[in-house]
Chain A
Amino acid sequence: MNKTITISPVTRIEGHAKITIHLDENGTVQDARLHVDEFRGFEKFCEGRLLWEMPGITSRICGICPSSHLISSAKAGDEIFAVEIPETAEKLRRLLVLAQWVQSHALSFFYLSSPDLLLGFDSDPSKRNILGLIEKDKELARRGIRLRKFGQEIIEILGGRRIHTPWAVPGGVREPFDKSKKDHLLNWIPEVKETALMALEIIKKVHQDLEKEIPSFGNFRSLFVGLVSTDGGLEYYDGTLRVMDGNGNIIADHLDPRKYYEYFDEHTENWSYLKFPFYKPLGYPKGMYRVGPLARVNICDYIETPLAEKERREFKKIAASDGVVNNSFYYHYARLIETLFAVERIEVLLNDPAILGDHIRARAMINRYEGVGCNEAPRGVLFHHYWVNKDGVLQKVNLLIATGQNNLAMNRTIKQIASSFIEGSNISEGVLNRIESGIRMYDPCLSCSTHAIGQMPLVIQFIDANGNVVHEIRK
C-alpha cells in the first residue's frame, strides 16, 4: 500500500505551505510535493484598476519584498509611459532595491535559517529561533537584527515607512533623498560590512560542520536564470537575462526581459496553486530552473565591488569541475555574498552626488498599451506585465514571481532530502526540520508566489494509493 506523509505547515517561511511525501509499500520515498493551497487572486482583481495604483496594490502581495514589487510595477509603468526616468530617480530606485536585498537577506539568514544552522537541526525546537539565538550569542543576534534594520531604515528614509511605501511611481519616484540622513547611513556602513563578513565566516564554518549532510540537500543539476549587466556583471535593477545550464555553459544570453514570455512558460498541477514555470526550449519538466542568490552568483562573470568579488571567487571553487554550484545548500552562502555586495554598493551610491538631485520624476501619459517591468527581487527575478487601455485602466495582468520559478527545484529538493532521511513512516522532529530547512534554503516567499496563502499547525497525513487518509498525526 502506498502511503503519503503530509507535513503542514512549513514554519518560518513567508507564507503557508504543506508538504506531502509519497511512500511505496517498502517505505521508500517515491515523490515529494510542496502544496500551496490558497490564492488571493491579484492578477484578476487588478483588472479594472488604474496603472498609477498598481505599485501600491501589488506591494501588498508580500510584506517581505514589497519594494521589489513596487519597483517592477513602477518599471512596467515606465514602459507604458515610454519614458526614460531621470538619473536621480534611477539611482534612488537602485538604492531601494539594494536596501531590500539587505533587509530580506538578513531576515532569511539571521532570523529564519541561522537558528537551525547554529543551534543544530536536532536541538530543542522551542529554542530554534531568533530568541534562542539571542540567548546563545547575543552579540551576533544583535548584529543580525541591526543589519536588517539598516536595510529597513533606508527603505523608511526613502519611502516613509518600511512596509508598503507609496514611494516609487511610473516615471520615477515621489520624493528626493533626505540629505540630512546621508551621514547617518554612511557612518553605519563599517558596522554592517563587518557583520556581513562575520556572517560569511559563520556560513563557511557551517559548511565544514555539515560536510556530511550537505550533499543530500538539493544537489542536482538545473538551469540557472537571472539578470546580468551589459558586460556580464551581477545585476539587480536592469540588464538582460542569462540562462546557464548545470554544467556552467551559457545557453542563452542578452535576452530582453520584456520578452520573458517567449522564453518561459508555466505548467499547472491540480494539487497546488503555485504554478511550475519552466524554460520553454527544454520543455516541462526538463526546463526546470533556479533563480535567486545561487543563480545570480553562479551566472555572473564578476561582481563590481571588491570584497564581494573576492568572495565570489571563493564560491566558484566549490563548483569544482562542474563550473557551476549545483547544490542548493549554497543559497545561504550566495545570499551572504550578495548582502556584502549590497552593503558595498550602497556605500558607493550614498557617496554619489547624483542621488541628491531633485529631478526625480518624468511625467507622461499612456503612450503604449503594454509594458513589462523587471528587477531582481531578493528571491529571484520578478516580472510584472500589464496591458492597459488609453485611460490607463488595466485590461490584463501577468506576474511571474521569484519563488514560483523555484517551484520545481524545491519539489526536487524535498524529495532528495526525504529520500536520504526518511525510512518508513517513522519520522523524527529532526527530519521534519531538515525538510523544512531544505525549503528554506530557497527562502521562498509563498505569499508572493501564489499572490496568496494560509495555514499553520503541523499535520502529518498518511494517504494510501486510493487517496484515503489512513492515519493522521496533528501537532
Chain B
Amino acid sequence: MPAKKHKPKLAVWKFASCDGCQLSLLDCEDELLKITEIIEIANFPEASRAIQPGPYDISLVEGSITTPHDAERIHKIRRQSKILITIGACATSGGIQALRNFADVKYYTNLVYANPKFISTLQHSTPISHHIYVDYELRGCPINKYQLIEVISAFVNNRKPNIPNTSVCIECKRKSVTCVMVSQGLPCLGPVTHAGCQALCPSYNRPCFGCYGPKEAPNTTSLAEQFIELGLSKNDIVRAFRGFNAYSDAFRKESEIYEK
C-alpha cells in the first residue's frame, strides 16, 4: 500500500500581543479551506480547544516575551518545531508594548499592584529571536494575510518565500502615490520601513509610522537628518522611531542617538 502523503502539521502560539496577527489566519475566509488542504492545523488555541501533541512541522509565533514563564515556554515550542516563524511586530521586535523598555522601571511600579506570588512580569518586552533561533520573520502590525499564505506554502513546498524586502517608499512609487514627505513636508518612515502594506498610510495621505519595522540595511541616519530639516525636534525624532517596532535594533539605535 503506498504510504499516504504526510500532511504537515501547523501550530499557532500566542505570547503578549493583541491577537491581530493570528486573526489574519482566520481572515483567510476563502483561503482557509485551501490552507487546510495542504496543512493540518494541529494547534490553534484561538480557534480550538484541541491541542495535538508535537512535533510540529511549522510553528507560527505571535507576540513578545514579557513573563518569566513565557521565556521558558518559547524554548519548549522551539524544540517541538521543525520550522518556527514569527508573525508580526510583537514577535519580531517586541511590539508596541516594548515602549516600556525605555521607561524607568519605577515608572511602572504603580501598575504592578499584583502579588508576585500569583503573577509576575518581566521588565522588558523582547522579540522571540532574543530567546531562540527563528527560521523566518514575517513583518507587520498586523501581518498581511496574503504574505502569510505565501510564507506557509513556501515552507510546505521547501522553497524560499517570495516576500519583497524593499521599502514602503518603493511601494509608493509603484502605486504612484504622491510622496507625503516631499509634497507636504510630513515626517515619513517609508524610506527605512520594510515593504508589505502596499504603502497604506501614504495612500491615505499620512506618513508611514513604520509598522512593518526596519527594512534590511535601513539608512536611518540620513532620514533622521532629513527630519531635522523638516523642523522636527529631537523629541519628535525619538518618538518617530519609537512606534510599533521601537525595540528593533535599527530603530532603537537611531532613537537613542536623539535622546537627550
Task: Name A residues whose Cβ lies closer than 8 Å to a Cβ of B.
Answer: 9, 11-12, 14-16, 35, 37-45, 48-50, 53, 56-57, 60-64, 66, 107, 111-112, 115, 124-132, 134, 145-146, 148-149, 152, 160-164, 166-167, 174-175, 268, 270-273, 433, 436, 447, 452-458, 467, 475
Contact = CB atoms under 8 A, between A and B. Distances in A.
A468 to B, nearest CB: 12
Nearest to B246: A45
Contacts, number: 191
A452 B48 contact: no
A131 B111 CA distance: 40
Contact of B211 (A66, A164, A452, A454): A164
7 contacts: A16-B14, A38-B119, A66-B18, A111-B26, A160-B203, A271-B114, A452-B16
Contact of A40 (B49, B97, B115, B204): B97
A11 B119 CA distance: 19
Interface of chain B, main secondary structure? loop
Interface string B3-41: 000000000011111111111101101001100100001
A270 B26 contact: no
A40 B16 contact: yes
A271 B114 CA distance: 6
A12 B114 contact: no
Contacts of A270: 113-115, 117-118
Contacts of B114: 37, 268, 270-273
A160 B119 contact: no
B191 interface: no
A42 B95 CA distance: 12
A167 B107 contact: no
Interface centre among B18, B33, B206 (most CB of A within 10 A): B18
Nearest to A160: B200
Contact of B118 (A37, A126, A128): A37
B47 A12 contact: yes
Contact of A126 (B46, B50, B113, B206): B50
A413 B226 CA distance: 57
Contact of A160 (B33, B115, B204, B209): B204
Place the interface of chain B in its size category.
Answer: 35 or more
Given A49-B239, A145-B29, A270-B115, A64 B23 contact: yes
Interface stretch (B63-71, B149-157, B170-178): B63-71
B234 interface: no
B108 A131 contact: no
Interface string B93-121: 00111011001000110010111011111
A268 B23 contact: no
A160 B199 CA distance: 10
B125 interface: yes
B227 interface: no
A397 to B, nearest CB: 12
- The 6 A-B residue pairs whose C-beta atoms are closest, nearest first, are A63-B20, A129-B48, A270-B115, A126-B50, A45-B99, A37-B119
A64 B17 CA distance: 12
B48 A128 contact: yes
Nearest to A69: B18
B115 A457 contact: no
B184 interface: no
Contacts of A37: 67, 114, 118-120
